[in-house]
Amino acid sequence: MNENIKGKVVVITGASSGLGEATAQLLAEQGASLVLAARRAERIEKIAEGITAIGGKALAVPTDVSAKEQVENLVKAAVDKFGKIDVLLNNAGLMPLSPIESLKTDEWDQMIDVNIKGVLYGMAAVLPHMKQQKSGQIINVSSVAGHKVFPRSTVYSATKSAVRVISEGFRQEVTPYNIRTTIISPGAVKTELLEHISDQDIQKNNQEYVGKIGLSPDAFARLISFSISQPEEMDINEILFRPTAQE
Ligand code: NDP
């Protein structure tokens, strides 16, 4: 248990695997009530059952974050079940890397819809509740790729850079409501993220690299727990972390 996390209601998007799943497990062990969102319903339901089986509280709400009304429904389901939302972790994301000249415009659309619009929809849906509560925390997941652009990461980097800009503007606007805003920018972590890269060579190269140096998702979960557990008057604005071996 963690006294500053115990009893908090945390909504996590992209909770069906990787960073979101690891964070749900850790926060549940620390006493938070979890609301798990992702498209793969059976996965989040299984994770919620696992949390409940160890005495925790969890609700699975199948959600596509690129559909505004589904995100609104997610927030409504969380408030109906637990009466409040203390934290929204906007974590759902996609990274189908490719060079611009491959013109994979459908993948650009997907990244913009999930990585940018999905984050905005989440913020829009929880803001009225957090304003009313006069408390809350929104944690948006950017990336090292949101700090610098690499060949083949142009559109992904643009979306993750947008997440940082949106978060910082939002942070300044919501200070009167006692809402904390946190940006977290991970380096290489071993998850399913690379599986959606459609260019086989790029996927293979990235898998070799991340397989060698990537951190475990627990590293991310620990940092989320750290930022949530700070006293209410302190806002961890931004966290940037990498494996020590990452350039
Ligand atoms: P995973 O692929 O393991 O997880 C991605 C999650 O996003 C899944 O739970 C997936 O669930 C969910 N998701 C994707 N599209 C949607 C959608 N339309 N609606 C709802 N959920 C969706 O990768 P990670 O855990 O690594 O990724 C989590 C976040 O971390 C992403 O934003 C990613 O960009 C970021 N990140 C990851 C890094 C890494 O090295 N792993 C580095 C930097 C940033 P489902 O398919 O069930 O919908």
Query: Tell me, what's the ipTM?
Result: 0.99
Instruction: Point out the ligand 1 atom lying closest to the alpha carbon of residue 188.
Output: 40
206 lines ligand 1 (CB under 6 A): no
Is 80 exceeded by the pLDDT of residue 1?
no
> What pLDDT digit, counting tens, does each position of 185-211 carry?
999 999 999 999 999 999 999 999 999
> What pLDDT digit, counting tens, does each position of 129-142 carry?
999 999 999 999 99
Report if pTM > 0.80: yes
**What mean pLDDT is reported for the chain?**
97
93 lines ligand 1 (CB under 6 A): yes
Is 90 exceeded by the pLDDT of residue 2?
no
Report residue 15 as tokens: 């909770």
Superfamily covering domain 9-241: NAD(P)-binding Rossmann-like Domain (3.40.50.720)
Is 80 exceeded by the pLDDT of residue 43?
yes
Q: How far apart are CA 156 and CA 163, in angstroms?
A: 11
Q: What pLDDT score was predicted for residue 88? A: 98
* C-alpha distances out from residue 30 to 24, 40, 104, 122, Å: 10, 25, 42, 24
Strand partners, 36: 12, 60
Residue type, 82: F
